[in-house]
Structure 1
Amino acid sequence: MSEPIYLIKLPHLKVLNANALSSPLTIGFPAMTAWLGFMHALERKLNNDYELDVQFDALAVISHECNLQTYRGPGDFVNSIIGTGNPLDKDGNRSAFIEEARCHLDVSLLIKYEDNEDSPINTAVLNKIHELIPTMKLAGGDILSVEMPQRYILPDGYNNAEKIKLFNSLMPGYALIERRDLMMEAMQEGQDAMDALLDYVTVNNQCVEIENSDESKKKPFEWKMQRKTSGWIVPIATGFQGISPLGKAKNQRDPECSHRFAESMITLGQFLMVNKAECPDEILWCYAQDFENNLYLCEQVQPKHFTSGE
């Protein structure tokens, strides 16, 4: 029998103006680095402000609603970002600025933590978490509200009453998971990374003739939309790759740590109906480092295995 899984559920965080520019190439749901960064910031605040000793290991993001702030007028081919134009200049006019993509979110978070007898997660700690969250930022956005956090202890993480109760409480919701396997499969067939990514997110439209037994009538047509594979596949940003040696930079944020320039790592992800996961580990993300290849990533704790046609 596997070890018990200890989880904290943060239900229905309402976030205003979260950063939707998840990488230089993608717009939409915030990058996974933002979500794990929030978990890390919450852990540090609990330990520093309340002198606790909690350790958060992994996090799952379940989306209930993502309202991307874009607009497409009649006859427009592409969407435009709805910008706020802040701050105005001294004459009250909009100053030149780089447009910032924003989204409003309703998400629930699952945080996996280490059981600690010296600093257990109890009702008092959950109340402190509930007090702290509205004072924090999430993906650059303001947290308007959050329901009372809850604690779950799953005996083995798989099909049991507590797991079913937890997943049902998160419905309707879609958990963001990684689909790196699709990228690897396409690249093994000879495609480069960008072509592989675009191939899976492209929607193909096809005009199909409808069969009609009445030959005297003109045969009607219909449009069909199709993607390369089933599922809600999206591009996601999951970390960074260093592109310069470690060193020191002028006016760097932390003078004690080494600095390096990096670029975003983009791969494919999927929004999966949360009740289709067999265990929490299939939707949990954690930090992973590959110093040999200068990679600083967010990875799945236990990637979900997909069968053909799923």
Structure 2
Amino acid sequence: MRCILLLPKLEIHNANALSSPYTIGFPAMTAWLGAVHALQRRLNQAGHPELRFTRAGVVCHDIKLHTHQGRGDYVQSIIGTGNPLDKNGGRPSFIEEARCDLTVSLLIEYDSLARSVTADGYIKAVEKQLHLIKWASGDLVHYAEPQLKAIDDAKSLRQLTRQLMPSYTLIERRDLMTEAMQDGQDAIDALLDYLTVQHRSQLNDDNIEWTANRKTKGWLVPIANGFQGISELGIAENQRDPDTLHRFAESLVTLGEFIMPYRVKHLDELLWHSHYNADNNLYLIQQNPRNA
């Protein structure tokens, strides 16, 4: 039996919309797993030291990017924030940040609760922490009551996925990247090859017909799914945590795919977990292999 904490219909304002270092859109999986880890730490400190969140998944019900596209414009522009004037009355310099408002549901797999904790008591403890956490750098505006779910067969999984509809969930498609790179492409070419939309024209009986196609079917997107260390572990000057070794790292990007939850046949298709590859200095957010 798998134990799931469901946080339904989290309405989040001003979330970070950097889906990867190169694109904006749905927040990166590193942001969601980071928020889940922060929730676990807060619950551990609030009297639940035995609690461990092992995996998490996110489904998106609605999203609105803070962008603007004027009449006749080809590209969209980021809507920035109005920062306070500096001491001379001028506009201060700022870095453009992509933001979004969105509604998501989070599924968090956890180890079994201590016998001394009731389900109602646990849910109340979770609710006390929800507004204290930044969710993908955004602020929680509203949420539905958290629920505890037990998934032990196909029927209970179908009930869960029906409850999540209508929505889209993000799954990992690193398998497409791996296959393309085994055929000789480098990583960036493999990524762009799957994201490129090719427009072609064909002349039929004096009529020109246009078609638009991608390399494969599906709603494929680039996603940030971890980091790779580019320096040795050590102590950094003025680091916030004096007891933890630090290193410089770069973001990792792979392919993801949005699918509707009713297509999910196994719970692992919804859930992501963290993984450390010491040989290659990789800090990954990943799913179990699709054929596992």
TM-score range, shorter chain: over 0.9
The letter for the 2-side match of 1:252 is Q
Instruction: Structure 2: state its 5+ residue gaps.
Output: none
- The percentage of aligned residue pairs carrying the same residue is 51
- Give matches, 1:118-157, under 5 Å: 118=115, 120=117, 122-156=119-153
Helix, strand or coil at the partner of 1:36: helix
1:214 aligned partner: none
Does the CA contact (< 8 Å) of 2:68 and 2:77 recur in 1? yes
Does the CA contact (< 8 Å) of 1:12 and 1:146 recur in 2? yes
Runs of 4+ in 1 over 4 A off after TM superposition: none
Are residue 102 (structure 1) and residue 99 (structure 2) matched? yes
1:185 aligned partner: 179
Distance 1:83 1:168 in 2: 37
1:258 aligned partner: 245
Distance 1:20 1:29 in 2: 6
Helix, strand or coil at the partner of 1:88: coil
Distance 1:38 1:204 in 2: 37
Q: Which of 270, 280, 283 is the aligned partner of 1:283?
A: 270
Normalising by the residue count of structure 1, what TM-score does the alignment of the two structures yield? 0.89
The letter for the 2-side match of 1:50 is G
Q: Which has the larger radius of gyration?
A: 1
Distance 1:88 1:24 in 2: 29
Q: Which of 168, 189, 200 is the aligned partner of 1:195?
A: 189
1:304 aligned partner: 290
The letter for the 2-side match of 1:40 is H
Instruction: Give the CA deviation at 1:231.
Output: 0.5
- Kindly provide the CA deviation profile for residues 103-150 of structure 1, in whole angstroms up to 9, marking residues without a partner as x: 111100100011134455611111221232122210111110110011
Helix, strand or coil at the partner of 2:177: helix
Q: Which of 167, 190, 213 is the aligned partner of 1:226?
A: 213
Distance 2:204 2:186 in 1: 37
Distance 2:118 2:28 in 1: 28
2:78 aligned partner: 81
Cα pair distance change 1:119/1:65, threshold 3 Å: farther
Q: Which of 40, 43, 63 is the aligned partner of 1:43?
A: 40
Helix, strand or coil at the partner of 2:279: helix
Are residue 62 (structure 1) and residue 59 (structure 2) matched? yes
Does the CA contact (< 8 Å) of 2:19 and 2:222 recur in 1? no
Does the CA contact (< 8 Å) of 1:130 and 1:146 recur in 2? no
Instruction: Give the CA deviation at 1:85.
Output: 3.2
1:237 aligned partner: 224
More displaced 10-residue stretch of structure 1: 240-249 or 19-28 = 19-28
Normalising by the residue count of structure 2, what TM-score does the alignment of the two structures yield? 0.95
1:29 aligned partner: 26
The letter for the 1-side match of 2:217 is S
RMSD: 1.7
The letter for the 2-side match of 1:257 is T
Distance 2:191 2:39 in 1: 33
- Kindly provide the CA deviation profile for residues 57-76 of structure 1, in whole angstroms up to 9, marking residues without a partner as x: 00011011121111222222
Aligned length: 292
Helix, strand or coil at the partner of 2:59: strand
